[in-house]
Amino acid sequence: MAFSITTPIYYVNSDPHLGHAYTTVAADVLARHRRRCGEEVFFLTGTDEHGGNVARAAEAAGMPPKEFCDMVSARFRALASAMESSHDFFIRTTDPEHERRVQDFVQLLKDKGELYEGTYGGLYCSSCEVFYDESELIQPGNYCRLHPNRQAEWVEERNWFFPLKTWAPKLLELYDANPEFVRPRARYNEARSLIAGGLEDVSFSRATVTWGVPLPWEPEQTIYVWVDALLNYRTALEYGLGRDVTATFWPTSLHVMAKDILRLHGIVWPAMLMAAGYDPPQGLYVHGYFTSGGQKMSKTLGNVIDPFEVIDLLGADALRFYLLREVQWGQDGDVTWEGLHRRYEGELANDLGNLVSRTTAMIGRYRDGVVPEGTNQLEPVHEQVADRLAAVDLTGALEEIWTLVRAANRFVEERQPWALAKSDDPAAAGQLDETLYTLADTVRVLGVLLHPYIPQAAATILESVGDPGAVSWDRAAHGGLAAGTATTQPAPIFPRVATDG
């Protein structure tokens, strides 16, 4: 089985923030899960570097656009690696291998008669790089919904157009044949009703934007930045690994993104592909938007959470865990430093960290650090976790895992191993063995289950119960820990930190 998954490629006109981290972590969890199930995975992320916005940002920074892109793209790449993202390729739309293929693609559409020349007049938000209908803007004044300080401006130019309208019947067929084409369901309905409500053709070139890929047959025009950007999902497979892996990984299994770019991914992208004769993606998952303290994160409000700062203070695992635990997957949610510290202390340090350290400490103290004979007494959750992950329910899967963490902690309190160790009752030694086996095996299972979410801690956990590297899914069932395995007590996995943040 092969599984290909993508994040949006992020604009380099500003620094990476927590919202970008969110999508990357989510896609990474799914990529890691599929790999541990033995599937062949291609996980793609990267940066979107052309267009007027980026050119303006470069100008404001007093830098040539490419140099500016190199700088900001490197920050996104640094964030991905600081977050322990396991992407297979980090694409940049300024890669010459990408640019060349974008040109080939639009040439192919033109040769197939899928592009026509026309004049376009419309209200254009230069921050979104998107033309809007009046009804989509805030009135009076044509203010952009996504950039409320910016008025969309009337722009008229001669462009090359893609006849999106004519693809509506095929798009509806695609949606009707696959009710899970877009998840969650509300987003599917949203996209489908946009199609059913009537589509406008899309201008595929820009006469006014110079920072972009030139149209092959009319190099004074550049290819619309969204066409260039969407094509990354295809071109990356052709050159990213140094060989063409489209035969294995096309069509893309899952595109993950936030709701702001659903129309482009759910409508324009599949239509473009069908027009070129390529298979459309298998599915999209659309997650929600973050706010902080109930308000949109913004520099002026001072509520921006810098993902690098979180990682420096609490580690990548804490960031990953928090994002997928705090915000109900698929919905909007609020993220704050207080919330982050609360989850870190309460769930990572206390619930999980203490469970691991007291389990290994007790085995050290009562059984010389060797796992005794026994059977795991707790209810397994791995099947529920697998179901949730198959349904792309990332918060749900984590909650299932946490029921096991909590059950294990309750089990310690109920069994009171320290009392069993002191007891003169002849049955106590056997009960203590059973208790310690259950805890050690559960800690091991948690290491396996948590691997996609908190890979560093999971590795430490597995090592502490003598099962290092054993993250594959066939190790997720209870009872896999062999009696006689040597355990060690790790240094605190989630050490206390000063909370003045």
Continuous segment of H or E residues that includes residue 225:
helix 225-230
Q: Which stretch binds ligand MSP (CB under 6 A): 6-14, 98-106, 383-391, 479-487?
A: 6-14
* Closest chain position to ligand MSP (CB): 19
Beta carbon of residue 84, minimum distance to ligand MSP (angstroms, whole number): 18
State which residue, 320 or 415, has the beta carbon closest to ligand MSP: 320
The answer to whether 260 contacts ligand MSP (rule: CB under 6 A) is yes
Active site annotation includes 147:
yes
Give just the sign of the alpha carbon dihedral 60, 63, 65, 67. negative
Minimum CB–partner distance for residue 246 and ligand MSP (Å): 17
Q: Which stretch binds ligand MSP (CB under 6 A): 7-15, 78-86, 115-123, 240-248?
A: 7-15
> Catalytic: 144?
yes
* 37 catalytic residue (yes or no): no
Which of 144, 287, 341, 478 does the annotation list as catalytic? 144
Is 69 tagged catalytic?
Answer: no
Q: Is 182 in the site for ligand MSP (CB under 6 A)?
A: no
Tell me if 290 contacts ligand MSP by CB under 6 A.
yes
DSSP conformational letter for 138: B
Which among 12, 4, 10, 7 has a CA at the least distance from the CA of 25? 7
Known catalytic membership, residue 33: no
- Please choose, from the candidates 346, 182, 327, the residue with its C-alpha nearest in 3D space to the C-alpha of residue 267: 182
- Residue in 69, 125, 265, 478 annotated catalytic: 125
Stretch that binds ligand MSP, among 62-70, 227-235, 385-393, 418-426 (CB under 6 A): 227-235
Q: What is the rounded distance in angstroms from the CA atom of residue 30 to the CA atom of residue 453? A: 9
Backbone angles phi, psi at 9, to 5 degrees: -90, 135
**Rounded-to-integer distance, Cα 200 and Cα 194, Å:** 10
- 369 vs 367: CA distance, rounded Å: 5
Active site includes 299? yes
Amino acid residing at 214? P
| Residue 257 interacting with ligand MSP (CB under 6 A) | yes
**Per-residue tokens: 19:** 């919202």
Distance in angstroms (rounded) separating the CA atoms of residues 330 and 150: 28
Q: Give me the residues paired with residue 116 across strands.
A: 161
- The pairing of strands 40-48 and 89-92 is parallel
Choose the stretch contacting ligand MSP; rule: CB under 6 A; options: 17-25, 82-90, 154-162, 475-483: 17-25
The helix/strand/coil state of 193 is helix
Return the structure tokens found at 365.
């103290």
Of 20, 183, 187, 343, the one binding ligand MSP (CB under 6 A) is: 20
Site for ligand MSP contains 19 (CB under 6 A): yes
Contact call for residues 461 and 443 (beta carbons, < 8 A): yes
Tell me how far, at minimum, the Cβ of 489 lies from ligand MSP, in Å. 38
Residues 291-330 that bind ligand MSP (CB under 6 A): 297
User: Smallest distance, Å, CB 219 to ligand MSP?
Assistant: 23
Alpha-carbon distance values, 202 to 164, 214, 358 (Å) = 6, 17, 61
Position 99, amino acid: E
Handedness of CA 138, 144, 145, 147 (dihedral sign): negative
Based on the shown chain and the rule CB under 6 A, indicate whether residue 240 belongs to the binding site for ligand MSP.
Answer: no
The type of residue at 158 is R
User: In this structure, are residues 6 and 30 in contact, taking their beta carbons and an 8 Å threshold?
Assistant: no
Which of the residues 50, 98, 128, 478 is marked catalytic? 128
Choose one: 4-12, 183-191, 359-367, 371-379; the region binding ligand MSP (CB under 6 A). 4-12
Alpha-carbon distances, residue 363 vs 68, 415, 423, 478 (angstroms): 55, 14, 17, 18
Binding span for ligand MSP by CB under 6 A among 79-87, 165-173, 256-264, 382-390 = 256-264
x/- letters, 25..64, toward ligand MSP (CB under 6 A): -----------------------x----------------
Binder to ligand MSP among 4, 5, 22, 305 (CB under 6 A)?
A: 22
Q: Is 289 in the site for ligand MSP (CB under 6 A)?
A: yes
Query: Which residues of this chain interact with ligand MSP, rule CB under 6 A?
Result: 8-11, 19-20, 22-23, 48, 229-230, 232, 257-258, 260-261, 289-290, 297
Catalytic residue annotation: 17, 20, 125, 128, 144, 147, 296, 299
